[in-house]
Amino acid sequence: MSKQFFGTDGIRGEVGKYPVTADFMLKLGWAAGKVFAAAGRQTHVLIGKDTRVSGYMFESALEAGLVAAGARVTLLGPMPTPAVAMLTRSQKASAGIVISASHNAYSDNGIKFFNAAGAKLSDDSELEIERMLAEPMETVPSSSLGKASRLGDAPGRYVEFCKSTFPDTLSLEGMRLVLDCAHGATYQVAPKVFKELGAEVVLIGAEPDGYNINLDVGSTSPAALQSRVLSESADVGIAFDGDGDRVQCVAADGSVVDGDELLYVIANDRLQWGEALHGVVGTLMSNLGMEQALADIGVELERAQVGDRYVQELMAEKGWLLGGEASGHIICADLTTTGDGIVAALQVMAAMARSGETLVALKSELHKLPQTLINVGVRDGFVLEEAEKVIAASQHVEDVLGDRGRLVLRSSGTEPLIRVMIEGADAKENQRLAEGVAEAIRQSH
Cα-flanking dihedrals φ and ψ of residue 163, to 5°? -60, -30
Q: How far apart are CA 440 and CA 205, in angstroms?
A: 42
User: Of these residues, 54, 102, 286, 327, which one is catalytic?
Assistant: 102
* CA distance to 107, 303, 307, 399, 428, per residue, from 285 (Å): 28, 8, 10, 20, 19
Strand, coil or helix: 46:
strand
Report which of 188, 196, 186 is spatially closest to residue 160, judged by C-alpha positions.
Answer: 196
Do 81 and 47 contact (CB within 8 A), yes or no? no
Cα-flanking dihedrals φ and ψ of residue 122, to 5°? -75, 165
Q: How far apart are CA 272 and CA 267, in angstroms?
A: 9
The 10 Å Cβ neighbour count of residue 39 is 4
Do 148 and 155 contact (CB within 8 A), yes or no? no
HSE-CB at 132 with a 13 A cutoff on CA atoms is: 22
Q: Which residues contact 342 (CB under 8 A, 6 or more apart)?
A: 80, 82, 162, 186, 189, 190, 193, 240, 244, 247
Q: Using CA atoms in the order 149, 152, 155, 159, what is the torsion angle rounded to 10 degrees?
A: -120
Q: How far apart are CA 436 and CA 445, in angstroms?
A: 15
Residue 219 is predicted with a pLDDT of 96
Specify whether 142 is catalytic: no
Q: How far apart are CA 268 and CA 265, in angstroms?
A: 5
Residue 276 is predicted with a pLDDT of 84
Residue 39 is predicted with a pLDDT of 60
Average pLDDT of adjacent 10-residue blocks, the chain of 445 residues: 86 97 98 86 94 98 98 98 98 97 96 95 94 97 97 97 97 98 98 98 98 97 98 98 97 98 98 91 95 96 92 96 96 96 98 97 96 92 88 95 91 82 95 96 88
Report which of 137, 110, 113, 109 is spatially closest to residue 125, judged by C-alpha positions.
Answer: 113
For the packed helices 341-355 and 154-164, what is the interaxial angle rounded to 10 degrees?
A: 30
Q: How far apart are CA 181 and CA 218, in angstroms?
A: 6
The 10 Å Cβ neighbour count of residue 87 is 23
Q: How far apart are CA 231 and CA 214, in angstroms?
A: 22
Q: Domains in the chain, start-ordered, CATH in brackets?
A: 11-152 (3.40.120.10), 157-362 (3.40.120.10), 371-442 (3.30.310.50)
